[in-house]
Structure 1
Amino acid sequence: MGVDVLSDVLKAIRLAGAIFFDVDAFAPWVTEAPPSRVLVPLIMPGVDHIIEYHVIAEGYCFASIAGEKPIRVEAGTIIVFPQGHGHVLSNPVGQRSAFDPEVFILARQDTVQLPLNVVEEGRGDHTHIVCGFLGCDTHPFNPLLSALPPMMMMHESIDTPDSRIGQFVRLAMGEARNKRAGGENVLARLCELMFVEVVRRHLDGLADDQTGWLAGLRDRHVGDTLALMHSRPAHGWTLEELSRRIGLSRSALTERFTHYVGMPPMQYLALWRMQLAARFLFDDSANIATVAEKVGYESEASFSRAFKKLVGTPPATWRRARRAELAEA
C-alpha cells in the first residue's frame, strides 16, 4: 500500500529519546523507579509519557514491575517498560528502596554532560547498566503504546557481529564511556532506534492468535486498511470505499478490523486524524482552518467540534495549554 504505518505512528506521537545514566553497581544494590507520571516533570517536562529501558551491558541483576515477581536478567538483555509502571532493579533479589529524585534533578542541570555516571557502592558482583528514557504523546491517540505489554525483555549477545541490538548497545556504551561533542544527541537517536528494533522484534514474535494494533499490522486485510488510511488521512474515506479497496464486505471488514484493533475503521480514522491535528497544532503556527483541512475536515467549525469531543478542549485552547507547558519546562 506504499506507507510504513509503524513509522507513521512513531513520527506522529513525537517519540524522543534521551539517555541519562551509565550505572556501575556492586552488590548489594537496588534502584526503584516510580511510575511515568512522577518522572515526566523531572526528566522530560512537556511530554505526556515516559518509556524507560535498561540495557544490561555486563553482569546480571533482577528486574520486575514493583510488587511483582523479579526475573533474573543477564548481560545482553534490554528491559523496556512501555506503560510507565514503577519498577525495581536489584542484586540480590527482592530488594526495595525509596525513590530519590535528586539524581534526576542533577541530570537536568546545564553543567552536566549526559550520560550521568552513577556508582552503586558495594563489595559484591559488578553490573553495568545503561539506562534510557523515551518521551512520547499518549493524547489524543497513541495506538502503539496500548498494543505493548507492561514489560518487555529481549536478549541477544552484545558481542555477536551481525546483531543489530548488539550494535546499538556497543555504540551506546562507547558514547557513554567516551563523552564527545554531540554525544547526547547520538545517544538520544540510539535510544529511539533501540526502541524501534525492540518493537519490531516484538511484532515478529507475536503468536498467530494475538490481537491488538500491532497484530493488525500483520494481518493482510487489517494491515492494508490501516495503510490506506495512513497514506491519505485527509481523504474522505467511507466504509464502503475501504471495503471495496480491501476486497471484503463492509460487515466483514468492520468485524475483522474491530477484532484486531479494538474499534471499527471509521472510529480509528477519526482518532488518528485528531492525533495528526495535535501534532500540527503543536509543531507549527498554522491557523485552525489550515489544520482542519490537513486532516480532512471541510470547515474549521466541524473540526473544532470533533476535536473538542475527542480531546476534551477546543484546538486553540489545547495549543495554548501545550505551549505554556513547554515554556515552563
Structure 2
Amino acid sequence: MSPRLLRESTETTDQLSDVLRLVEVHSVVTGGFAVGGVWTTRFEMSSPLKFLAVAQGRATLVADGVRGPIDIATGDVVILNRRSWATLSGGTDGLARPFALTEPNTFTRLDDRGDDVILGGHVDANQVGEDLLVASLPPVVHVRASAADAGNLRDILERIWEEATGGRVGAEFAINQHAQLMVLTVLRAYISQADELPTGWLRLLADERLRAAVSLMHTDPGRRWRLDELARAATMSRTTFAERFREVAGTPPLAYLSTWRMRLAQRALREGDVRIGPLAVDLGYASESAFSNAFKREVGVSPLRYRAGARQK
C-alpha cells in the first residue's frame, strides 16, 4: 500500500465506517431453523460474539451470566458477548420438544408449521477488531426491530432466510451481503439506543461533541496534531477536551491517535509490500526507527516481523 493509498483509505464519510473497515468486521450466518409448536434447544458457543435473530415468530433466550430470560420477537437481533452457552425456546402451551442442531451451516425446517424462524451466526473481525468489540459491548446487546435505526432489520432477516432456503444461484453471496448490512444496522441501532455506552471506541464514535476532532485524526493521521488544534475543532478548551476524551474513549486524545496510526500500519503491512520508511513518513513519524520503536511498543513485534507473520497465516 502506497502512502497515497493509505491517505485515501482514511478519507471516508464517517468514523464508524473507518473503524469497521479497518478492523475487518463481518457477520457470518452459520445456520437457521423453522419450527412450530412448543420447542427448546440448547447450544454451546465457541465464538466470542454470537448472534441470534428472529426472522419470524418469537423466542425466549437464556444465557449464562445473563440476568433473567430475554424475549425476542420478529426482526430482533441479540449479540452475546463472551457467553459460553444459551438455550432458546418457543411456543406457549404443551410439553416442549427438545432438539439439537448438530450440523453446522445448515438451514432446516423441522416441521411443516414453521411458526418460529431463527437464524444464528457470529460476528468476526481481525484480532484487533475482536478485542475492540469485546471490550466495547456489554454481555448482551438486544436490538429490537422497533428501535431507532433498526427499521429494516425485519426485511434483512427475511431475505437471509429466503436466500438460505430458496436454492437460488448466488445465494451464499447474497446471504453474506445481507449479513453485513445486518451487523451494521445492529451497531447503529445499539449506538443510538444505548443511554450509557461502555467506555471505548463505540462510545467515542457516538459522541457528537468529539466527532469533529476524531474526524480530523482519522482523515489526516499523519499530521502532527496538537491538543489545542483538536480541542478547537471540538469547540472546547484544551483541559475540557482532554478530560472528556479520556472519559469517553478511555485514553487521551494523542494516545488514541497513536493507536489509530498503528492500526493503519498493521493493515498496510498485512495487505502489501509497502516499504517501512515511506509508511513511517506517511503516518507522521520523523524516522523509520521512531516508527519501528512505536510499532513494537504497541504491537509487540517489529514491523518486519509482523509482516512476515501475517504472510504465514
Same fold (TM over 0.5): yes
- Seen in structure 2, the aligned counterparts of structure 1 residues 65 and 35 have a Cα distance that, compared at 3 Å, is farther
Alignment of 1:248-259 (within 5 A): 248-259=236-247
- Cα pair 2:32 2:108 within 8 Å, conserved: yes
SS in structure 2 at match of 1:139: helix
- In structure 1, the gaps of 5 or more residues are 37-49, 108-115
User: Does the 8 A contact of 1:141 with 1:272 survive in 2?
Assistant: no
Asked if residue 103 in structure 1 is aligned to residue 91 in structure 2, the reply is no
Given that residues 211 and 234 in structure 2 are in contact (C-alpha distance below 8 angstroms), is that contact kept between their aligned partners in structure 1? no
In the alignment, is the contact (CA less than 8 A) between 1:3 and 1:227 conserved in 2?
Answer: no
TM-score (normalizing by structure 2) = 0.81
Over 3 Å counting, the alpha-carbon distance change for 1:142 and 1:248 in structure 2 is farther
Structure 1 position 78 matched with structure 2 position 89: no
Partner SS state of residue 53, structure 1: strand
Q: Which of residues 134, 141, 159 is equivalent to 1:171?
A: 159
2:123 is equivalent to residue 134 of structure 1: yes
Q: Look up the equivalent residue of 1:226 and give its one-letter code.
A: V
Q: What SS class does the counterpart of residue 21 from structure 1 fall into? A: strand
Percent of matched pairs sharing the same residue: 26
Greater Cα offset, 140-149 or 213-222: 140-149
User: Counterpart of 1:139 in structure 2: which amino acid?
Assistant: V
Amino acid of the structure 1 residue aligned with 2:125: C
In structure 1, C-alpha distance between the alignment counterparts of 2:60 and 2:137, rounded to whole Å: 21
* Residue in 2 that maps onto 1:18: 28
Deviation at 1:247, TM superposition (A): 3.1
User: Does the 8 Å CA contact 2:49/2:134 hold for their aligned counterparts?
Assistant: no
Cα 1:224–1:87 change in 2 (3 A) is farther
Q: Distance in 2 between matches of 1:221 and 1:155?
A: 27
Distance 2:310 2:210 in 1: 33
Q: Supply the RMSD in Å over aligned alpha carbons.
A: 3.2
Higher alpha-carbon deviation: 255-264 or 16-25: 16-25
> Of 248, 256, 266, which aligns to 1:268?
256
Residue pairs, 1:20-35, within 5 angstroms: 20-25=30-35, 27-35=38-46
Q: Taking structure 1 as the reference length, what is the TM-score of the superposition?
A: 0.77
> 1:35-114 residue pairs with structure 2 within 5 A?
35-36=46-47, 51-68=49-66, 69-81=68-80, 83-91=81-89, 103-104=103-104, 107=105
Using the TM superposition, give the Cα deviation of residue 272 of structure 1 relative to its aligned residue in structure 2, in angstroms: 1.1
With 286-295 and 255-264 compared, the bigger mean Cα shift is at 286-295
Unaligned runs of 5+ in 2: 1-10
Q: How far off is 1:209 after superposition? A: 8.7
CA distance in 2, matches of 1:199, 1:65: 21
Q: Deviations over 1:19-63 (max 9, x none)?
A: 221223454431313242xxxxxxxxxxxxx53222212333221
